[in-house]
Amino acid sequence: MISWKSGKQRTVARSSTEAEYKALADGTTEVIWLQYLLTDLQVPSVSAPTIWCDNLGATYLSANPIFHARTKHVEVDYHFVSDRVAKKEIQICFVPSRDQLADVFTKLLPVASFTAFRFKLRVDPPLSA
C-alpha cells in the first residue's frame, strides 16, 4: 500500500451513490497523480489502474453518466471520473462491501474486523513476537 486518506466530504450528499461518486473522484485524482509520478520515475505502466467501489450506482454512473432526478444535481467537476473511464485511463469495478478494504478509513469498526483490516494494511506486530 502506498497511499491512503480519510476525510470528511465538503458537501452534503443526497444519496449514498452521490457520496460514493465523490469519493471515487477523490481516489481517481490520487491515482492519476501516482501515474504521473510513475511515468516520471520511468516505471513502465502495465495497464489501466482499477479502482474498486462498493456502490453499484456509482459504478454505473462512472461508466454511463445518465442524468435523472437523483443524479443531475451532482456537481460537474465530479464527472471527470466518467471522462477518464471513457478514455480507458482507469477502470471502475464493483466490489461487495464485505471485501471492501477502504472501510477502515471511513467508519468505526468492531475489534475483529478492525484487526483483520489492520493485517491487510500490513501494519503488523514485530516478527520476533
Contacts with other proteins by CB under 8 A lie at 1-13, 15-16, 19-20, 22-24, 26-28, 30-31, 33-38, 40-43, 46-47, 49-54, 95, 100-111, 114-115, 117-118, 121-126, 129
Shortest CB 112 distance to other proteins, Å: 9
For other proteins, the closer of residues 64 and 106 by Cβ is 106
Helix H, strand E, coil C: the string for 46-111 is CCCCEEEECCHHHHHHHHCCCCCCCCCCCCHHHHHHHHHHHCCCCEEEECCHHHCHHHHHCCCCCH
Q: Which residues contact 59 (CB under 8 A, 6 or more apart)?
A: 53, 92, 93, 94
For other proteins, the closer of residues 21 and 65 by Cβ is 21
Measured between alpha carbons, how far is residue 60 from residues 53, 95, 102, 129 in Å?
11, 13, 20, 46
For other proteins, the closer of residues 64 and 115 by Cβ is 115
Shortest CB 87 distance to other proteins, Å: 16
d(CA 82, CA 93): 13
Shortest CB 63 distance to other proteins, Å: 15
Shortest CB 29 distance to other proteins, Å: 10
For other proteins, the closer of residues 2 and 69 by Cβ is 2
